[in-house]
Amino acid sequence: MQRVHPGPLIGLAGLLALLGGLEAAGSLGVAGWLAGTSAGLAVAVLLGRALARRRGAGMGPADRVTLVRAQLACGVVALAAGAGPVALLVGLAAVALVLDGVDGRVARRTGTASAFGARFDLEVDAFLILVLSGYVAAALGWWVLLIGAARYLFVAAGWLLPWLHGTLPARPWCKVVAVVQGVVLTVAAAEVLPPAATRLALLVALAMLAESFGREVRDLWRLARRTSPRSARARVLVDHG
């Protein structure tokens, strides 16, 4: 019998408690509840499927921190959809960004780092950036959505170009770029900078993201060429020429 992992349900319960607190503060409406709950259900389903593929392995302490970050991201979705106070939205996003530096440390200190945890962290980062970019784009223009859509466009491209699914060594720069996107988008949402400065910061963040993904695509292409059957046959011919 397949084990049912409690993590996704606990996460969903925590999100409902968060939404209840936001509602008590008068920060949510029907749209906020629908958006936040829908996002939470999607996270629970996807997380449940990922855990089921681990064949018995549950969530580690770092994964629970990442789950809290996912709940906060869903809270940002609810506030954005329900036109909640900007201060609350920025506050939740800021806490999620701070915790982004905690889950990795917890994983290393407890010796529980895993491929699952790294992927979970990556997807929560991408989700939060997508939500923030959509919120900021409503005021500054559609082009801001490119920041949040980049990760998902890359995944979609992999359906047509399988070599994009290759595995490369982890690059710390990718994490730096992700943090920059989150920080710049949160500052933009807070509207604490002049509009011109905000747009410049977003353009710099977008340029960093384009460079990072461009390098990733280049390296994956080179990896695919080195490991293709044709390249392998060519190497054999050279070695035995």
- pLDDT tens-digit series, residues 51-85: 888 776 778 899 999 999 999 999 999 999 988 89
pLDDT confidence of 231, banded at 50, 70, 90? very low
Q: At what angle do helices 7-24 and 30-52 cross, to 10 degrees?
A: 170
- pLDDT tens-digit series, residues 121-144: 999 999 999 999 999 999 999 999
What local confidence, expressed as pLDDT, does residue 56 receive? Answer: 63
Kindly provide the b/e burial profile for residues 171-187, where b requires at least 16 CB atoms within 10 angstroms of the residue's own CB: eeebbebbebbbebbbb
Domain spans, the chain: 7-239
Count the neighbouring beta carbons within 10 Å of the beta carbon of residue 199: 16
What is the 3-state composition of the chain as percent helix, strand, coil, each rounded to the nearest 5?
85, 0, 15
Look at the chain and count its residues: 241
pLDDT over 70, % of the chain: 92
Token readout for 90 is: 């920025």
Q: Tell which phi-psi region holds residue 48, choosing left (phi > 0), alpha (psi between -120 and 50) or beta.
A: alpha
What local confidence, expressed as pLDDT, does residue 80 receive? Answer: 93
**Residues 185, 213: contact at Cβ < 8 Å?**
no
- pLDDT tens-digit series, residues 196-227: 999 999 999 999 999 999 999 999 999 988 88
Nearest-CA neighbor of 144 among 157, 126, 131?
131
CA distance 46 to 48: 5
Q: In angstroms, how far is CA 80 from the centroid of its own chain? A: 17
Element (H, E) at 23: helix 7-24
CA distance 213 to 191: 28
Nearest-CA neighbor of 27 among 111, 86, 74, 93?
86
What local confidence, expressed as pLDDT, does residue 195 receive? Answer: 93
CA distance 90 to 12: 21
Q: Residue 66: exposed, middle, or buried by beta-carbon count in 10 A (0-12, 13-18, 19+)?
A: buried
What local confidence, expressed as pLDDT, does residue 2 receive? Answer: 53
Token readout for 20 is: 């209840």
Q: Is the pLDDT of residue 107 over 90?
A: no
- pLDDT tens-digit series, residues 149-194: 999 999 999 999 999 988 888 888 888 999 999 999 999 999 999 9
Nearest-CA neighbor of 140 among 212, 63, 67, 203?
203
What local confidence, expressed as pLDDT, does residue 4 receive? Answer: 65
Please state whether the predicted TM-score (pTM) of the whole model is above 0.85.
Answer: yes
- pLDDT tens-digit series, residues 30-56: 999 999 999 999 999 999 998 888 776
pLDDT confidence of 229, banded at 50, 70, 90? low
